[in-house]
Amino acid sequence: MIRTGLVTGAARGIGRAIALRLARDGLNVVVNDIQASSSDLQNVQQEIEQMDTSVDDWDKIFANMRGVFLCYKEAAKIMITQGRGGKIIGACSNAGYKPHPMISHYSATKWGVRGLTQAAALEWAPYNITVNAYCPGITKTSLFDRFNEELAEFQGKSKEHLMEDLLKTVPLGRVGYPDDIANLVSFLASKNSDYITGQSILMKSKEGPLTKSIRFTAALILRNIARYS
Output the pTM of the full model: 0.72
Per-residue pLDDT, 28: 79
Which distant-in-sequence residues (6+ apart) come within 8 Å of 79 by Cβ? 85, 86, 88, 124, 127, 129
Amino acid present at 30? V
Per-residue pLDDT, 121: 98
Annotation says 110 is catalytic: yes
Per-residue pLDDT, 194: 96
Catalytic residue from among 72, 87, 110, 204: 110
Per-residue pLDDT, 211: 56
Judged on CB neighbours under 10 Å (0-12, 13-18, 19+), 188 is buried
Per-residue pLDDT, 133: 97
Spelled out in words, what is the top-level CATH class assigned to the domain 4-35+43-228? alpha beta
- Averages of pLDDT over runs of 10 residues in the chain (229 residues) are 78 82 81 49 34 58 86 94 94 85 78 96 98 90 77 78 80 88 94 96 66 56 49
Catalytic residue from among 87, 106, 134, 204: 106
